[in-house]
Amino acid sequence: MERLKQLTEKLNRLTHEGASKESLLEVGFDIIRELMVVEMHTPTENHVQEIKSVEPEIQEGLGQSLNDRFNATVPDLSERLQQLRQGSLRSAMGINDRYIFLDTLFKGDAHSFDTMMQLLDEAKTFNEAESIASQYIRTVQDNVEQAAVVEKFYDLLRSRFSSI
């Protein structure tokens, strides 16, 4: 149980520090693994006795259920993750998206791509970021596929600045 308490504190600390989604998910999985280990080592008789002792309080209205207590004070983890601002546009995109953007929008020119990403990470507003992106992204789109990639990039850009 001590390990579970440590993991919960770590998750709260990382959430408040604005850690990456991957870090938060890894700690979440550690918590789940620890819960599975704790449940495997706990005799089933204790669970039945605990339920019997808690259930009358809820039925009589003397106490709140665990769900009521947690919902009243702690926001859902998914809500907390959505509120976190992406620290970097590069971290918000997957490796496949990076490859597609680099190949389609920059014709494989990694230097230009990296320069643009750095400038976009320093941008304060969406309008500023959009201006930077339009300077680097080739506006001539030869086909529908390139237009779709450009739109996907701007959607990612909008989502990064929508949480600011």
More confident residue, 105 or 81: 105
**74 and 97 assigned to the same domain:** no
| Confidence grade of residue 72 (pLDDT, cut at 50, 70, 90) | low
Residue 1, pLDDT score: 73
35-71 burial, b if ≥16 CB within 10 A, otherwise e?
eeeeeeeeeeeeeeeeeeeeeeeeeeeeeeeeeeeee
The whole domain housing 130 covers 89-162
**60 and 94 assigned to the same domain:** no
**107 and 71 assigned to the same domain:** no
Q: Provide φ and ψ at 141, rounded to 5°.
A: -110, 115
Closest among 12, 19, 134, 17 to 88, alpha carbons compared: 19
The sign of the CA dihedral 8, 9, 12, 14 is: negative
More confident residue, 153 or 46: 153
Q: Which of 52, 83, 114 is the last residue of a domain?
A: 83
What are the pLDDT digits (tens) for 11-58? 889 888 888 888 888 888 888 888 887 666 665 555 555 555 545 544
What are the pLDDT digits (tens) for 95-152? 898 999 888 888 888 898 899 989 988 888 888 988 888 888 865 556 777 888 888 8
Q: What number is the average pLDDT over the span 76-81?
A: 61
Residue 149, pLDDT score: 87
Residue 64 pLDDT greater than 80, yes or no: no
Interatomic CA distance for residues 90 and 78, integer angstroms: 21
Q: Which of 83, 104, 131 is the last residue of a domain?
A: 83
User: Domain tally for the chain?
Assistant: 2
DSSP assignment of 26-53, as one string? HHHHHHHHHHHHHHHHS-HHHHHHHHHH
Residue 153: count of CB within 10 angstroms of its CB = 19
Residue 76 pLDDT greater than 70, yes or no: no
18-26: long-range contacts, CB 8 A cutoff, minimum separation 24: 18/84, 18/85, 18/87, 20/87, 20/91, 21/81, 21/84, 24/77, 24/81
